[in-house]
Structure 1
């Protein structure tokens, strides 16, 4: 899920106290959903994570990853050699399009953006907090944001830790490959929500990401600030085409998305 450091969004009517809608204790600590005026906010272990005020970063993460997958157009064949074909679902089923994995469900902005794009094939969202998934179920507080996307036959929600899901080498998750991995579970590789998330950006974690990508596939990692050392880590993990896309914010340094490509 996309993280925001500091106080709730300035768009929230701070004259009204927040109202807790649900509070859960899970394996990673406490997770809370609260309403603050018109906004819904997710709080983890007392830290404000995200709210429903904008969603621009989450949507751009998915949209820019698709553009990165498309790559430069070749005049000879209209596509980039070695990249996955990008086309809308056909009557044969959703696997006709590139397969997307989104790390983190959050308030559902990334999922909604993906489901609104017919070019995607299978859309898999991995979320470790059962409470967050419950809040998106029919009738849940967050369902208005994700109901249409969850009804999309291309969508599947997986309750698992992302690092665990990526490295699984047996059982029902074995063998699944993706054309794009969009990771939005931390403030960035050097600013994780919990200590165990750090393994995702380690050499072993990045190797798991690379292994789960199809040849020519794209890894996109959201971060609250640029991290040149992460670019080096991506190169050391065997990725190529590494670049950083800046996302302007109201104040402070821009958010960024780190892009990297698995060699074809």
Structure 2
């Protein structure tokens, strides 16, 4: 399984990165499957550096804040108005229950049909896994000020020399510390975890985002192998975020950078 950071800027696109979007690929023995975790504002253009849009097998949305979903509107245009015709069927999209309505409203469409001719919308169900090619994606409800916000546990089973091998990536989405996030991340090979707040500066804000220290504490409690901090807003100091995480996590640690790929 490979992870490519399309966008990792927190809350809005920054000068060096679009908002949240991650390309995850895995091989099932016959072909490579490609899924996107979130599709925040600014991400659609950058994603085309790494894949053709028609090669998207599915999109999985953590929640419906614009920095995690709004470029679905641009993808709708790419599918609907391609002058050569869209070469594949509807793109599957998993997300909160209001995803189809929110996207139609954002683009000024009548909800019926909205974007349902371009996307096949599915609703998350708490801890109910979605099976797609070599992937199993399981949502866990987390703490963020929207009706539905989810972390995702992504398990990919690929052929190996000694038989099938399963690797685990957990993506926090946006969340403050909670038991469900620890459950989602338990034993992960990589924990892609938001750290949008700083200790001291943001202590009065509850139930919105993690700090580096709280992300590290979650990673330690969940016994993850690698921690990749993400969703840092442009005004944050990444060095300070890493220093905070080091107070509570001693394992392999880095900050996500747009354009970098990781083997999991």
Q: TM-score scaled by structure 2? A: 0.38
Could you say which structure has the greater relative contact order, defined with CA pairs below 8 angstroms and 6 or more residues apart?
2
Query: Greater share of helix residues, 1 or 2?
Result: 1
